[in-house]
Chain A
Amino acid sequence: MVKDASAGSTSLVSRPVVIEGEISGDENLHVDGRVKGIIRLTGDLFVGASGAVEAEIDARNIVIQGTVTGKVLARRQFEVQPSGRFNGECTAASYEIREGAVFEGISKMSSSRPQSDKAPLSPDPNLKKKL
């Protein structure tokens, strides 16, 4: 169960688990359960098909198969797979939105301006504008 504890380590929030609060760290995170609050990772965030995340997110790569709502920063890539739903505001260096996926909200490219590794995120997930 304890693999390499270096940067490649992945934590798992399994299906029956609900977390309300702040998750942070130097890890990858796989969410099959529900998370509400703040997620800050130096690694990747993967939201599985049964996962539901309502949070302010800051991660390296973000892959969504389930549901994600909130203000999101993907320092590298933001990907929504066919079963995935995203609702909110997203900033990423690159996007991949597959056919069948739902993306509702605002997308911004982070390459257009200098991006520090820890961009300050305001805790306001309801910043919905019409493009």
Chain B
Amino acid sequence: MGLFAKEKPRAASPVAGRSDHETSFFGTKLSVKGKVSGGGNLIVMGNLEGEFELQGELVVAPSAVIRGEVKAVTVTVSGSLSGTLTAREKIHLEKSAVVSGRLHAPRLSMVDGASFNGEIEMQKPPESTPPLKGTSRNEAN
């Protein structure tokens, strides 16, 4: 009880500490419709509608409203999201998340209180499956 170890919650803000240069930020009052693609991380606080394909982390803040198809490496949702969400590594739904639609990710976590309506698929996408030891499926070279 008396132990006061400095524990930091690690899952909450995965983007902190990354180079700011590569992190895009869409503020509360910004709305984007269309296609967003490319690398780097993205923090969304406003409205997004369309197709998103990111080679990085996507953080959906509590104020954010996203509709459409989202693909990223890891996705953390605290806001509202409807559509198809695909993460190459993992999806995390925070307490304030309101999500409807389909989730695809090899790893998924959800905090008590998060709302989710829809389908979950946890199959690993074939291209990102790490080579298993002892498998003869080594296609490289």
Residue numbers in B under 8 Å from A37 (CB-CB): 34
Whole-angstrom CA separation of A25 from B27 in the bound complex: 9
Whole-angstrom CA separation of A125 from B50 in the bound complex: 24
Whole-angstrom CA separation of A19 from B36 in the bound complex: 4
Q: Which of B15, B31, B61 contacts A24 (CB 8 A)?
A: B31
Quick one: given A18-B37, A20-B35, A33-B38, are A5 and B28 in contact (CB under 8 Å)? yes
For A21, the closest partner residue in chain B by CB is: B34
Among A8-16, A84-92, A105-113, the one that faces the other chain is: A8-16
Residue numbers in B under 8 Å from A25 (CB-CB): 27, 29-31, 46
- Summarize A's interface: helix, strand, loop or mixed: strand
A18 B38 Cβ-Cβ under 8 A: yes
What sequence of 0s and 1s flags, for each residue 27-52 of chain B, a beta carbon within 8 Å of any chain A beta carbon? 11111111111111011011000100
For B25, the closest partner residue in chain A by CB is: A12
A5 B32 Cβ-Cβ under 8 A: no
**What class of interface size applies to chain B in its complex with A?**
20 to 34
- Summarize B's interface: helix, strand, loop or mixed: strand
In the complex, B26 has a CB within 8 A of chain A: yes
Residue numbers in A under 8 Å from B27 (CB-CB): 5, 9-11, 25, 27
For A8, the closest partner residue in chain B by CB is: B27
Which residues of chain B from 79 to 101 have a CB within 8 Å of any chain A CB?
none
Among B4-12, B16-24, B133-141, the one that faces the other chain is: B16-24
Top 5 closest pairs, chain A to chain B, by CB: A21-B34, A16-B39, A25-B30, A26-B29, A17-B38
Q: Which residues of A contact B (CB under 8 A)?
A: 1-2, 5, 9-27, 29, 32-34, 37
Q: Which residues of B contact A (CB under 8 A)?
A: 15-16, 21-40, 42-43, 45-46, 50, 54-55, 61
Please, could you name 9 A-B residue pairs with CB atoms under 8 Å apart, sorted by A?
A1-B16, A1-B43, A11-B25, A12-B25, A17-B37, A17-B39, A22-B34, A27-B30, A32-B21
